[in-house]
Structure 1
């Protein structure tokens, strides 16, 4: 028998596809509810079509039923099915989302209408912290409304959770076992929900979820490609094939295997009280605790280009063969722990003042904190071994392979040759606190025009505290001139682990790597540190973590007010709905950092840095602010009973990343004639976008539809690095005076070239969205498909080594879903594709402006379920069933930046509801 689901429908699309806009106050208050019985996938899609036709703007959505039926570990994996949504993955899981080519920081994430904090240094939200089982629906707002909080140029994403007065008395739960094939283990996951109503006036809902997942990820990477390094000392330099004016040489190449244990705990408590039909109060508490315990082993090579024995380049100037000669190989072990705790609490009161006038008031407090108990998210030791080595490019995907057999004499596998090199401890504590108060008023007397108006106050504080042991790379070496420490390590503490036959086997050329008998050493970084400290002469405080001046606090207060009018009329005998509104926002910023102020420059040598004298470190604050007006308008015209055309225009904003707004200034160079440093910019202005949307929807029957949309975004104030000439505390430059050996009256003010982030670039984006769904009669089969094409006038030119700006995250994407639903059996298979795209300027762990370009990627997921009864079903899920790997490169395809594999993931389980 087919399973029946009873749930409440609000004016919001509940299934995948381009949906129409909702009521202008959809995020501000609860609207009247209509109970609808939906039977399976097809009926859910049919209901979504009905909602689309009645709505105003462009909104996509998915419901809890859709999330549960996809093989999705988290919300990002579900959101990628929506037209125009792409995701970034970490450890085989979806983590962050891009919408219409706008990256994660350009999308605002809300929880039941309130802003979600982020553990990141900027504003991007990590969806892997949220369990999909805790969510009743997700709304993706692609067009702007004055009633919806600003912040998402790409989209505003609203995560919705269940309410007890909506769903009534209910118990539901699921248990499943999952297995990552590469990791080899089986881990549990369980979730449950209890909802109870008393006399239809008081309701309580309690939901909880627990998940543990073990995963394994193999990785090969180049941390940075150097452009035109000094190769004058290379004995054999073959650049004959190069038709480019530049050469590109790796800085470091490495491969590793990491094993993660991810533990995710989520909880939700909701209390609702409705003493009358006109008044409802809702208290909502959300909690999540997401922890990753990691162990990784890594082999790394450091390229000293100017002392290499030989270098060979290809036609693009990329190194394809390299012989370092006498050098060292590094072996790392890493045992970090990262943890994020999120809490969000709100109290909302909805009051129907009259039949026409309604008021919604809410206050919320939300916090996200990473490593709250001082967990070390970087904990690693590095030991070295003296060894000749080389480098070559091999395989269809052109990743580097080491050309030195590990068993050659002297053998890399001999632990007696190891010497310690470095040990690092870091704890990066990011705390994001958001307090919001809002009031929303609507007036609808049944006439042709409705009014919505409201105010909002947001107080956000981002605190970043960086703590580290502050070691330089030489401090941990046991053979330094300091004299303390052993000369080698305890051989018994180091175990050689050879690469297995499955290492990176998704990529052509990996067999060449495995044939070299390479591997890694397994050892405990904490034990190595303890042994070093126990040795005679070692400073007892050498590993004592200390507070770093890269820490800062930024407080951002925003006051907003809006109004919006919705008018229903007709045009040439056809129904026409017009919406117009505006949102005004005023933002004040206080940026506080820790800095030791420069007080004196002392000349030493014309070719050397001058000696610097600083005051004691102290906190100081810089203030800034801005005001914006964000208008919006839209129109929906019913051409006939089956076709709807929509047009919308708006202005939207995304606020600058908070980590770029620190006031701290760092002095890097003090050579005579060259004074330079870097700093953040508290006075950065927000990104501003002028948006235009046009869509046409054709409804063929109750289920089938085809839609086509066009969007255009003119985005201003992109942030780039600018160089500003600045003086500091009246400090003079002794090299400019009569006597550089000491200060005199002729000394001029020291002028520093300070590199700061500045608003400087504009870009235009435009694209097309195509979507449709079709049910094949009564066969039970159906399909959903969509395609998004995105373009910009600010593309990246790989041949321009001086280019430092292009729109990142921009890519085409597509989805194809097939489903079957008849009787007690349901099945779904989903194909997702994302084209190649520029991810960022910068490459893995090394500071550089060289690009990271992600290769095109596709993935197939599936799920199936069988209803044992009306209340119980069994199911299975498979993610990445074809075992696809991810790869990124630099300017050219053979400049590997990173290749990773994490394997398929499967799960089986049982669901029940009563």
Structure 2
């Protein structure tokens, strides 16, 4: 039976996209933004449009801040916002970087590019993201959104909602990022905006173009808007990295001479005596360098995004809007890697030149700082990663407002397709060498052994091992429908009750992955004639400075030559080669959620103090079903997979209360309070019911469709002072109690699993540990405070007119812990305790200037071998923006990103053991913006 027919028979039938869309339209779902209406009457649409136009035309940063401050003040809950002008006038490379200056918001960076958004220092997967009220798909497999795929020019407004109401879609413990694109009736007249920019990277030396336009017009009851943005980015990163801890059990646990020699050398050179070298509880506390690599990355990106909006609005009481968002994000990343794998399976200790038993003595860990090894695995790797991302989102929204009733509804679809094509040309040389830590990373040099090599200049010693290929294809689709109704009240027996609101929402989400791996060992299918015969010298080699634009390697004083990825693809992929998808790598996760809510708005006076209060309850029911394959042993002992997919279901239901209130203690002085329960659903990759094998680590990893969501009980109390000149001072304290955190745990053991070497010979039979994501027992506390200051300085002195400060600071303390198998106390990966942003600005009718510094404190990036916390060091980046309006409708801008050329660094457990040193350079751009 074919894989397709097996899969079709095993899957539960699902509605077609057309049927699903019709059902969604019939359900008349809704996009709900009920918070502002809960506390006050709506602002007339014409007035709002005029205000927005004024901000866009003037290009005033201070006026855009004023508008964001007004949005914050009018919201019944804790929130912060930015508007389009704020985004346009700051230097940024994508949507993630456009959000990083909001209070409590920081971003994760990868090779000089913002990639994910953190709210209040919590990991990115704790943040819920929606575009036009649809939780957007991105193909990541988690709940976090890959912001780097979205161009910032397509957005109109962003609000980070930090305290939800019952009407908000569940899903964000840290907060919800609500993104809106522009609509034609946002403008009071015809609008055409054109912009173009060229950006220069200091390392690659390349200049990248970017262009965008927006066109909007209204005629009578109808309006139409389109926007488009396209750009190219070429970025080079030089990195001396990968220097992680490896437990000495790698050598001490080896049978025969390898293990015995490691034990003898350790005792001879360090005095450390091992009682039982087969006991990992003892040997895991002695560590050495796993791998040292010098790497050059060249990342080339092409991105485009477009929005369209068709709006029918016969008056201020009714509108019908169709919104569309489509785009693509394609990347090609070349990585040229010269690395020394100290933990080679052929190697062991030769000489320990330096060791450290003091720095980590508190954890009982001894670090071998400088070691010669008997047979280091030196590798030259030419890696190529090609990614193709296509996304689209469509929605139909209806808004109607009567004398007492108002109804809004939405039906929509969000989808993303991702295709990843990976290749790695691998040449290996086994030889004695010496590896040690340096001030910024690590280095490998010749040892005293006469058979040692200079790993950077011995191409004839490197043998071809394989040209490895991987192909992965992911589809991520979500359908949603929502309807909300609000009824204004004027009850004589309960005058404080102003309105009630209720609604329902249904979402249907599916992720499907196909993946395949095929390695080439010769010039044809099944041919292995190159393995162990062909050398690196038999291929065309080019100096690293000519393989990528920008010249010499900057992370260290070093040069070497490698095979280009273009040459590798042309030479090693024989005619007709294709990487096939494999059944065992397939999985699919289907998730449906239905929720209903009800809430009430109150307004009353406590003595002289006016109070607004919103209280509500949300009920959500979620069901999950997942399909995948499990690896098995075939009768001949070779590894295989179950013939048919295996499936498992799961589900849960939750009740989520919320309470938000504000009290105006004095003119412009607001006391704000909020309390709620919220949840974050497990990542789809954790739900996927399949088993993956790590043959070198003797471990199986299973998915778990039975996972329950991570839940939080949270409250916040804050004081906000609003000034007549648009200034704001705010302080708040928040606390969260988080339960059901997803961790990886040992859930079983599979005995006597056959493990094979790369050449197909049997390595032996081993017991495999089985790890699964599970909900941890107990709860964790997170608390912190947030400070916000937006101060136009003209209130200090008249001569400072146009100057201002916009700053925010977030401090976090948490009992959330990483899962170190050595019980090393460490924060949860991704959690930063301190973040702050500071912007100094000046603007007038013609000129504006901004200097902005964004700082994210150090945080644990991952746990090496589930034992040793690997930290990303605190990172601060300074950006500048200067604009000059040469005419009323033409503005020139000069922008700089990372103008101080900061490096990205990291370490394992202590800064004296660096593990990352990356340089991505600065970007300087020159642009023009024209408005009609």
**TM-score clears 0.5:** yes
Determine the C-alpha separation between the residues in 2 that align with 1:272 and 1:675. Answer: 58
Shift of 1:495: 2.2
Superimposed CA distance per residue, residues 237-263 of structure 1 (whole angstroms, 9 cap, x where no aligned partner): 333599999222122221111111111
Shift of 1:528: 6.7
Which residue of structure 2 aligns with residue 637 of structure 1? 663
Cα distance change, pair 519–577 in 1 and its aligned pair in 2 (3 A): same
Alignment of 1:414-813 (within 5 A): 414-445=458-489, 448=496, 449-469=498-518, 486-488=533-535, 491=538, 493-497=540-544, 513-514=556-557, 517-524=558-565, 527=568, 530-531=571-572, 544-595=579-630, 611=637, 617-665=643-691, 677-724=700-747, 754-761=770-777, 762-777=779-794, 778=798, 779=800, 780-795=802-817, 800-801=822-823, 806=828, 808-813=830-835
Determine the C-alpha separation between the residues in 2 that align with 1:909 and 1:900. Answer: 28
Equivalent residue of 1:442, what SS? strand
Cα distance change, pair 803–829 in 1 and its aligned pair in 2 (3 A): closer
Contact map agreement 1:342 1:368 (CA 8 A) in 2: yes
Which residue of structure 2 aligns with residue 42 of structure 1? 62
Shift of 1:530: 3.8
TM-score under structure 1 length normalisation: 0.84
Alignment of 1:119-130 (within 5 A): 119-130=139-150
Cα distance change, pair 166–858 in 1 and its aligned pair in 2 (3 A): same
Equivalent residue of 1:67, what SS? helix
Cα distance change, pair 531–569 in 1 and its aligned pair in 2 (3 A): closer
Determine the C-alpha separation between the residues in 1 that align with 2:394 and 2:542. Answer: 49
Determine the C-alpha separation between the residues in 2 that align with 1:702 and 1:865. Answer: 23
Shift of 1:577: 0.8
Q: Structure 1 stretch 758-767 or stretch 146-155: which is displaced more?
A: 758-767
Which residue of structure 2 aligns with residue 166 of structure 1? 186
* Residue 192 of structure 2 is aligned to residue 177 of structure 1: no
Which residue of structure 2 aligns with residue 741 of structure 1? none
Which residue of structure 2 aligns with residue 114 of structure 1? 134
Superimposed CA distance per residue, residues 531-559 of structure 1 (whole angstroms, 9 cap, x where no aligned partner): 5859xxxxx97x74341523210000000
Choose the corresponding residue for 2:406, options 340, 358, 361. 358
Q: Structure 1 stretch 448-457 or stretch 811-820: which is displaced more?
A: 448-457
Q: Structure 1 stretch 898-907 or stretch 229-238: which is displaced more?
A: 229-238
Cα distance change, pair 755–487 in 1 and its aligned pair in 2 (3 A): closer
Contact map agreement 1:324 1:390 (CA 8 A) in 2: yes
Contact map agreement 1:271 1:283 (CA 8 A) in 2: yes
Q: Structure 1 stretch 155-164 or stretch 322-331: which is displaced more?
A: 322-331
Shift of 1:121: 2.1
Cα distance change, pair 241–644 in 1 and its aligned pair in 2 (3 A): farther
Shift of 1:401: 1.9
Determine the C-alpha separation between the residues in 2 that align with 1:44 and 1:461. Answer: 38
Shift of 1:893: 1.9
Which residue of structure 2 aligns with residue 875 of structure 1? 893
Structure 2 unmatched ranges of 5 or more: 1-30, 253-259, 275-281, 361-365, 754-766
Determine the C-alpha separation between the residues in 2 that align with 1:532 and 1:265. Answer: 31
Cα distance change, pair 668–882 in 1 and its aligned pair in 2 (3 A): closer
* Residue 922 of structure 2 is aligned to residue 904 of structure 1: yes
Determine the C-alpha separation between the residues in 2 that align with 1:461 and 1:483. Answer: 42
Cα distance change, pair 894–31 in 1 and its aligned pair in 2 (3 A): farther
Determine the C-alpha separation between the residues in 1 that align with 2:745 and 2:452. Answer: 51
Which residue of structure 2 aligns with residue 865 of structure 1? 883
* Residue 866 of structure 2 is aligned to residue 856 of structure 1: no
Cα distance change, pair 24–299 in 1 and its aligned pair in 2 (3 A): farther
* Residue 334 of structure 2 is aligned to residue 334 of structure 1: no
Which residue of structure 2 aligns with residue 291 of structure 1? 330
Choose the corresponding residue for 1:61, options 59, 69, 81. 81
Contact map agreement 2:514 2:581 (CA 8 A) in 1: no
Equivalent residue of 2:66, what SS? helix
* Residue 45 of structure 2 is aligned to residue 22 of structure 1: no
Determine the C-alpha separation between the residues in 1 that align with 2:446 and 2:233. Answer: 36
Determine the C-alpha separation between the residues in 1 that align with 2:633 and 2:664. Answer: 67
Cα distance change, pair 326–192 in 1 and its aligned pair in 2 (3 A): same
Equivalent residue of 2:125, what SS? helix
Contact map agreement 2:238 2:295 (CA 8 A) in 1: yes
Which residue of structure 2 aligns with residue 95 of structure 1? 115
Shift of 1:29: 14
Superimposed CA distance per residue, residues 412-431 of structure 1 (whole angstroms, 9 cap, x where no aligned partner): 43544432112111122121
Superimposed CA distance per residue, residues 464-517 of structure 1 (whole angstroms, 9 cap, x where no aligned partner): 21121167xx89999x99797854356361223369998775xxxx5xx42xx5
Equivalent residue of 1:882, what SS? coil
Determine the C-alpha separation between the residues in 1 that align with 2:65 and 2:916. Answer: 39
Length, aligned pairs only: 837
Q: Structure 1 stretch 647-656 or stretch 443-452: which is displaced more?
A: 443-452
Equivalent residue of 2:562, what SS? strand
* Residue 341 of structure 2 is aligned to residue 302 of structure 1: yes
Shift of 1:773: 1.7
* Residue 158 of structure 2 is aligned to residue 138 of structure 1: yes
* Residue 852 of structure 2 is aligned to residue 830 of structure 1: yes
Determine the C-alpha separation between the residues in 1 that align with 2:486 and 2:115. Answer: 36
Determine the C-alpha separation between the residues in 2 that align with 1:464 and 1:165. Answer: 40
Q: Structure 1 stretch 400-409 or stretch 621-630: which is displaced more?
A: 400-409
Determine the C-alpha separation between the residues in 2 that align with 1:798 and 1:727. Answer: 23
Q: Structure 1 stretch 800-809 or stretch 165-174: which is displaced more?
A: 800-809
Superimposed CA distance per residue, residues 625-679 of structure 1 (whole angstroms, 9 cap, x where no aligned partner): 1000000012211111132111110000000111111222468899xxx998542
Which residue of structure 1 aligns with residue 307 of structure 2? 268
Shift of 1:270: 0.9
Contact map agreement 1:421 1:477 (CA 8 A) in 2: no
Contact map agreement 2:629 2:644 (CA 8 A) in 1: yes
Determine the C-alpha separation between the residues in 2 that align with 1:348 and 1:29. Answer: 19
Equivalent residue of 1:660, what SS? helix
Equivalent residue of 2:63, what SS? helix
Which residue of structure 1 aligns with residue 435 of structure 2? 391
Which residue of structure 2 aligns with residue 239 of structure 1? 270
Determine the C-alpha separation between the residues in 2 that align with 1:805 and 1:707. Answer: 28
Which residue of structure 2 aligns with residue 817 of structure 1? 839
More helix by share: 2
Determine the C-alpha separation between the residues in 1 that align with 2:829 and 2:455. Answer: 47
Superimposed CA distance per residue, residues 377-398 of structure 1 (whole angstroms, 9 cap, x where no aligned partner): x111012345542112222x4x
TM-score under structure 2 length normalisation: 0.83
Choose the corresponding residue for 2:444, options 361, 381, 402. 402
Determine the C-alpha separation between the residues in 2 that align with 1:181 and 1:668. Answer: 40
Choose the corresponding residue for 2:367, options 300, 312, 318. 318
Shift of 1:329: 2.0
Shift of 1:594: 2.4
Which residue of structure 1 aligns with residue 92 of structure 2? 72
Cα distance change, pair 527–726 in 1 and its aligned pair in 2 (3 A): closer
Cα distance change, pair 531–98 in 1 and its aligned pair in 2 (3 A): closer
Which residue of structure 1 aligns with residue 862 of structure 2? 840
Q: Structure 1 stretch 51-60 or stretch 639-648: which is displaced more?
A: 51-60
Shift of 1:704: 2.6
Determine the C-alpha separation between the residues in 2 that align with 1:577 and 1:811. Answer: 32
Structure 1 unmatched ranges of 5 or more: 1-10, 14-19, 535-539, 603-610, 734-750
Contact map agreement 1:422 1:476 (CA 8 A) in 2: no
Contact map agreement 1:21 1:58 (CA 8 A) in 2: no
Contact map agreement 1:29 1:440 (CA 8 A) in 2: no
Cα distance change, pair 799–434 in 1 and its aligned pair in 2 (3 A): closer
Determine the C-alpha separation between the residues in 1 that align with 2:825 and 2:647. Answer: 33
Superimposed CA distance per residue, residues 2-45 of structure 1 (whole angstroms, 9 cap, x where no aligned partner): xxxxxxxxx999xxxxxx9634599x999886332345223333
Determine the C-alpha separation between the residues in 2 that align with 1:900 and 1:687. Answer: 34
